[in-house]
Structure 1
Amino acid sequence: MKAFCMNLDRRPDRWAHMRREAAQAGFELERIASVDAQKPDVAAAAAEVPPMANGHRMSAGAFGCFNSHRAAWTAIVESGEPHGMVLEDDMILAPGFGALVNGTAWIPADADVVKLETWGTRAHVAKAGSAVGGRHLGRLLSSHIGGGCYILSAATAKRLLAMTARFSDPVDELLFNETLAFFPTAHIYQMVPAPAVQGKRSDSGMAEPEWSEGSIMARFADGGPTEPGREGKLERLLRRTREELRKLRLGSRYDVIRFG
């Protein structure tokens, strides 16, 4: 399987980091030149994107990130292979990661997307599934935001390109937010523990790329949130109760998706 890493021309340090990660894991990376939000034409194009359902507009950074992912999807389609991997350029990879790239027999036949990354948040993952290199692979049954490392089938990459000729939501929201159009129509799997994590969420000290902004953080050019909302005790209790009931209904695990 080919692995495509998106990287800004002005950040050769991040490309060097990812080449080291890939070499250590024992697989090859192909570089995709990222769309740079600092270029005036990119910022101008971002300003023309329709607002999201909540009225906020996508920032130039999120716009560049989305189009970088679209370039990677195009590369998957053009590769002629049945699957391809997409990585952002600040990923930390767990031991054994290379085996996931160098063989594809473990990928379920019905998988549209396999999410290999975690943000260290809770998500519902089906108890039923398969064991892959000591990890559990099950259907992702709830939102789990983050688009730093995932596998797409070529058919799904082609479908996503058609779906996103026009877009207004950040790319990881499009892929992994259960309330948006793609998620309910796709077979999405999550690997647990996740073998990839963004550097900003590990202890490595890798910096967050300017063009890859997490959807939990501020990503909007005009008036979006600046940090995750704070829950009161009652709200937290109600949410946890609701998710525990949902776990029973779905037959899922509802746990923090850890890295490892």
Structure 2
Amino acid sequence: MTIPCYYINLDRSTDRDAAFRAECARVGIEPVRVPAVDGRALPEDVVAAMGPRTSGEYGVGYGEIGCFLSHVRLWEMVVAQAQDWAFVSEDDIHFASNAAEFLRSSDWLPADADLVKAETVFQRVLMDKRPATSAFGHGLFRLCSAHGGTAGYFVSRRGAQKLLDQTSAACDPVDQLMFNPRLGIAGDLSIWQLEPAICVQDYLVTASDRHSGVESMVNAAPRLFHPEGGRSAKPKGFERRVMGPLRKLAGLAERLVTNTVTSRKFRKVPVEIDGVRFVAAGKAGTP
């Protein structure tokens, strides 16, 4: 059974819609557009009601609220239409040349998976050193740490229902809700990672001819609800001068110990676009 490819696109973003459709045509994918929720068009009382639903860990603005509600809309579609699996995409990604193979059947997907992350944002993530299985030349690893981004992921009907249940009283950046165990949701989901990834957001491939200057609309929007001491709060004074470097050293030590003495490893997930293998934002090479 084929897996539908849904993509989120604002009605006013006709240029992004055209660019994404062209990208899908390039690799042989037939996408289905789902109108995005425009955070700026929401009634102010709806926006204000989201404030108490935030965790305080991250800044949240119109962009984050609209993006969160757009993904909720898609999860509801997957559940309502009783689809076993769906691929969810945002409208600013580039695909690997073999991406369409992953949509022709769901047979390759792990039986216990709720989510399979198909993109990379090039942050260091914790995974087993060896894949549990593989599909079309890509390894499938259990994702054991946070990995930002919601620009491309496979979601099962069971996973969509879990997400709806567990985010019914939440409103944070949707990628953190889905893929960061700190917020208490990802730990209850079976999440896998494709390596190499099969898609990446446009702003991360600035060294490639594929880059078209499409920026993240979420990141460009101002924040309405600001964290107080959360992860995205700007560090000050002693926190910036002393604790920041100490945390970096602690993270380095954790990665070194984990990579050396356990069966898992922190590493960046690469992606290949038009024959160029990216291992970091705008950088090609060997991971």
TM-score, normalisation: structure 1: 0.88
User: Which residue number in structure 1 is paired with residue 177 of structure 2?
Assistant: 174
Cα displacement (A) at 1:222: 4.5
Question: CA contact under 8 A between 1:87 and 1:149: conserved in structure 2?
Answer: yes
Q: CA deviation at 1:4?
A: 0.8
Could you say if the C-alpha distance between residues 250 and 178 of structure 1 is closer, same or farther in structure 2, counting changes exceeding 3 Å?
farther
* Offset of residue 166 of structure 1: 2.1
Who is 2:278 aligned against? none
Which residue in the other structure is 1:242 paired with? 254
Q: Is the 8 A contact 2:63 2:221 kept in 1?
A: no
Q: Which residue of 2 aligns with 1:35?
A: 37
How far apart, in 1, do the equivalents of 2:194 and 2:84 lie?
19
SS in 2 for 1:179: helix
1:113 maps to what in 2?
Answer: 115
| TM alignment of 1:16-165, pairs within 5 A | 16-41=18-43, 43-49=44-50, 50=52, 52-54=54-56, 58-126=60-128, 127-165=130-168
Shift in Å, 1:90: 0.4
Give CA deviations for 1:179-206 in whole Å, capped at 9, x if unaligned.
1221111110001111111111112133
CA 1:179 to 1:218, structure 2 compared with 1: closer, same or farther past 3 Å?
farther
Distance 1:227 1:29, change over 3 A: farther
**Could you tell me how far apart the structure 2 residues matched to 1:219 and 1:176 are?**
23
Hey, what does 2:213 align to over in structure 1? 206
Q: Distance in 1 between matches of 2:42 and 2:131?
A: 48
Counterpart residue type for residue 46 of structure 2: A
Structure 2 vs 1, CA of residues 187 and 247 (structure 1 numbering), >3 Å: closer, same or farther? Answer: farther
- Counterpart secondary structure, 1:221: strand
RMSD: 2.5
Does the CA-based 8 Å contact 2:58-2:173 persist in structure 1? no
TM-superposed deviation, 1:109: 0.5
Match of 1:197 in 2: 200
Q: Show the counterpart of 2:280.
A: none
One-letter code aligned to 2:263: G
CA contact (8 A) 2:56 2:226 kept: no
String of CA shifts for 1:100-148, please: whole Å, max 9, x gaps. Answer: 1112111010111000011111101122411222221110011111111
Which blocks of at least 5 consecutive residues in structure 2 are unaligned? 273-287
Identity within the alignment, %? 29
User: Which amino acid in 2 is paired with 1:242?
Assistant: E
State the secondary structure of the residue aligned to 2:60. coil
Secondary structure at 1:245 match in 2: helix
Equivalent pairs, count: 255
Q: Which amino acid aligns with 1:58?
A: V
Per-residue CA deviations over 1:225-251 (Å, capped at 9, x if unaligned) read 488989865543321111232345652
1:183 alignment partner AA: A
- How far apart in 1 are the matches of 2:247 and 2:17? 42
| 8 Å Cα contact 1:106-1:132 kept in structure 2 | yes
CA distance in 1, matches of 2:77, 2:55: 30
Q: Deviations over 1:56-103 (max 9, x none)?
A: 662111000000001111121233221011100101111100101112
Tell me if structure 2 keeps the 8 A contact 1:9–1:34.
Answer: yes
Consecutive unaligned residues of structure 1, counting only runs of 5 or more, are none
Residue 160 of structure 1 aligns with an amino acid whose one-letter code is L
Q: Which has the larger radius of gyration?
A: 2
Counterparts of 2:178 and 2:225 in 1: how far apart (Å)?
23
Q: Deviations over 1:32-56 (max 9, x none)?
A: 1001122151x54222211533376
Residue identity in the other structure for 1:47: A
Distance in structure 2 (CA, Å) of the matches to 1:112 and 1:142? 16
Letter in 2 for 1:186: L
Contact kept in structure 1, 2:8 and 2:89, CA below 8 Å: yes
1:6 alignment partner in structure 2: 8
Report how far residue 12 of structure 1 moved: 1.1
**3-state SS of the aligned residue for 2:126?**
strand
With structure 2 as the length reference, what TM-score do the two structures score?
0.81
Per the TM alignment, residue 257 of structure 1 is displaced from its structure 2 partner at its CA by 1.3
